């Protein structure tokens, strides 16, 4: 798959991932819209795929660029935590950005044969293994960027593997238990988890003609801001 410096398909994937995330979080504004859980399952694997697509262009991106990538993730992990906790009732985990930051370290550790990168990747895996309950999407969520990177240039059927990892990251035991009793959101959620990486890959390979505003560094601010906006909507609707 050819990745251009400004890839319209990649921009489309990022915007759709953001939209999926917002739809998922609309479940918390006070209305019974549990079915929005289903499109919400696209957000995390598509953000991981966007990360993998950027990493796959490693020859055109400097090491300093990847450190800046990690720095922005860590900065907005901290900035987003308070808005996240204000909006999500009784959260059990940190916001999603620490998971993505650890996932980036793991993927770069595999990609770069440098001692420093390998040690950071090992440390990230240890943290994910010791504290999976504190990370959104847990240990498997940290693995998903790496697994997606490993299959990004392979035939389409290899994307079944990140689909399985995505399902494991989404508390598949709870989904499976609910699906056994005919819960529609759980059944559809399982299906979306399994096919989300493949759908994202189809977009990357066949939607390059789209021209959307590119997501640059300012887009990190959309994560905490969307929590604050939805919190305002919830208070106005109360």
Q: What's the pLDDT tens digit per position in 196-212?
A: 999 999 999 988 788 88
Question: Does the structure show a pLDDT above 70 at 159?
Answer: yes
Contacts with 179 (C-beta within 8 Å, 6 or more apart), sequence order: 186, 187, 190
Instruction: Give long-range contacts, CB 8 A cutoff, 24+ apart: 146-150.
Output: 146/103, 146/106, 146/107, 146/110, 148/45, 148/48, 148/49, 148/51, 148/52, 148/197, 149/52, 149/55, 149/56, 149/107, 149/110, 149/111, 150/110
| 146: pLDDT strictly greater than 50 | yes
Whole-model pTM? 0.92
Instruction: Say if residue 133 is exposed, middle or buried (CB neighbours under 10 Å; 0-12, 13-18, 19+).
Output: exposed
Check whether 148 has a pLDDT greater than 90.
Answer: yes
Question: Cα(91)–Cα(37) distance, rounded to whole angstroms?
Answer: 16
Q: Does residue 58 surpass a pLDDT of 70?
A: no
Give the integer Cα–Cα distance in Å for 14 and 76: 17
Whole-number mean pLDDT of the chain?
91
What is the spatial distance between Cα 204 and Cα 226, in angstroms, rounded to a whole number?
Answer: 25
- What value does the mean pLDDT take over residues 121-126? 98
- State whether residue 151 is helix, strand or coil: helix
Residue 137: pLDDT above 70? Answer: yes
């Amino acid at each position: 798959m050819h990745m251009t410096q400004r890839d319209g398909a990649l921009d489309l994937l990022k915007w759709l991932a953001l939209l999926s995330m917002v739809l998922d979080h609309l479940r918390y504004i006070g209305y019974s819209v549990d079915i929005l859980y289903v499109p919400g399952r696209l957000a995390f694997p598509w953000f991981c795929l966007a990360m993998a697509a950027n990493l796959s262009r490693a020859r055109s991106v400097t090491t300093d660029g990847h450190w800046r990538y990690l720095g922005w993730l860590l900065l907005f992990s901290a900035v987003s935590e308070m808005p996240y906790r204000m909006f999500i009732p009784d959260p059990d985990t940190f916001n999603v950005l620490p998971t993505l930051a650890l996932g980036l370290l793991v993927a770069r550790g595999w990609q770069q044969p440098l001692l420093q990168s390998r040690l950071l990747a090992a440390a990230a895996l240890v943290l994910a293994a010791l504290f999976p309950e504190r990370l959104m999407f847990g240990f498997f969520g940290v693995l998903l960027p790496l697994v997606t990177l490993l299959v990004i240039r392979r035939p389409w059927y290899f994307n079944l593997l990140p689909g399985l990892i995505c399902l494991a990251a989404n508390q598949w035991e709870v989904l499976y238990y609910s699906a056994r009793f005919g819960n529609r959101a759980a059944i559809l959620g399982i299906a979306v988890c399994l096919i989300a990486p493949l759908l994202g890959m189809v977009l990357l390979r066949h939607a390059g003609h789209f021209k959307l505003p590119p997501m640059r560094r300012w887009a990190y601010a959309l994560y905490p801001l969307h929590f604050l906006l939805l919190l305002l909507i919830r208070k106005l609707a109360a």
